A and B are shown apart, each in its own frame.
Chain A
Amino acid sequence: MQTSLPSSSSSNAKPEMKEHCSHRKDCLKMIQLILDGEATDQQLARLKVNLESCQPCIEMYHLEKEVKELLTKRMEKRCCPEQLVATIKSKILRFS
């Protein structure tokens, strides 16, 4: 089973790093709640523990964070065309 040990070099002080997570789907849901700012304190505490002890959770966390940042920061934001703003304003004035 244990063919590769990633970071557990020599120190025994650190908690055992889990190579496999047996509830990835639920962990993933929890990670998304946390990144969306919708998690409870309890869920936050649970993630904190997982991020110290569960390799798959660490990787999922980084991936989810990266994908969210791609969407928030790297997508082109367009401005509404001036012409459209002008049209809307003039139509509104003719309303009532």
Chain B
Amino acid sequence: MNSLRIAYGKRQFTLTFMATIHEVMSDTPTRDDDQLLPDGDSIDQPSADTPSRGYTDEQKYQIFNKEFMPHIDSMYNFAFRLTTDEDDANDLVQDTYLKAFRFISSFEQGTNAKAWLFRILKNSFINDYRKKSKEPAKVDYQDVETTYNSEDAEAEHTVDLRAESVSDLIGDEVATALNSLPVDFRTVIILCDIEGFTYEEMAKILDIPIGTVRSRLHRARNLLKEKLRDYASSMGYNEENED
């Protein structure tokens, strides 16, 4: 035991200490992930109170044009990043906007239209596209999460990568790395880093607790950094000047 402690002294110390810290911070996500992906078209009930607003036709078109249409480029980008296919992205955006118009009475004028639209798009993607998508969906979020929750992952939580190693990567390489992540991880990174949503907005868009947003984002970034590290080292950016 003693010799073990000498050999792995640093790591053992690290692990025990981290466990204590973790208890103190107690920001472990709530594990209610089974309600992650509601099967129903949950956009029909955006919140507990869904007063049907009696908009006139004129008001409907006004809301649609003034509050929904300005987000169409963001929506298209989101759709394209989710589906990684132009035709699918087209269909997804169109379906989403038509749905948004159909359910416009459950949208409260002047509230966060972008988050509302993103939520519809995300649900449409899950319900209509994900099933038929050819992406290797076998890598299920739950599996990946389990892997990253294991002890080994705890020990290796920080990816060994330097800022200088990734600073020369170009957009295409970043996009490829991002696209190689399982869709749930990709989604939180898109919403947070590309679209700039707050954690609270993301929780609403994804129908998950904020704690889960935080932890999923954390894991997503670790995965992304691993991919970026692979890129960087294959490009020879990774110097090995360990002193």
Task: Determine how close the nearest CB of chain B comes to the CB of A7; give it in whole angstroms.
Answer: 13
Chain A CB within 8 A of B101 CB:
yes
Q: Is B199 located at the chain interface by the 8 A CB criterion?
A: yes
Once bound together, how far apart are the Cα atoms of A10 and B221, in whole Å? Answer: 38
Q: Which residues of B contact A17 (CB under 8 A)?
A: none
Inside 8 A of B57's CB, which chain A residues have their CB?
Answer: 96
Q: Are B101 and A81 in contact (CB under 8 A)?
A: no
Interface size on B, as a range, is: 35 or more
Contact with A along B25-55 (1 / 0, CB 8 A): 1010000000000000000000000000000
User: Could you tell me if A80 and B64 are in contact, using CB atoms closer than 8 angstroms?
Assistant: no
Among B126-168, those with CB < 8 Å from A are: 154, 157-158, 161-163, 166-167
Q: How far is the CA of A93 from the CA of B120 in the complex (A)?
A: 20
Give the interface of B toward A (CB within 8 A).
Answer: 10, 13-14, 17-18, 21-22, 25, 27, 57, 60-61, 64, 69, 72-73, 75-77, 80, 90, 93-94, 97-98, 101-102, 154, 157-158, 161-163, 166-167, 169-172, 174-175, 178, 189, 192-194, 196, 198-199, 214, 217-218, 221, 224-225, 228, 243
- Give 11 CB contacts A-B under 8 Å: A22-B13, A26-B25, A28-B157, A36-B192, A63-B161, A71-B189, A77-B73, A80-B73, A88-B72, A88-B98, A92-B101
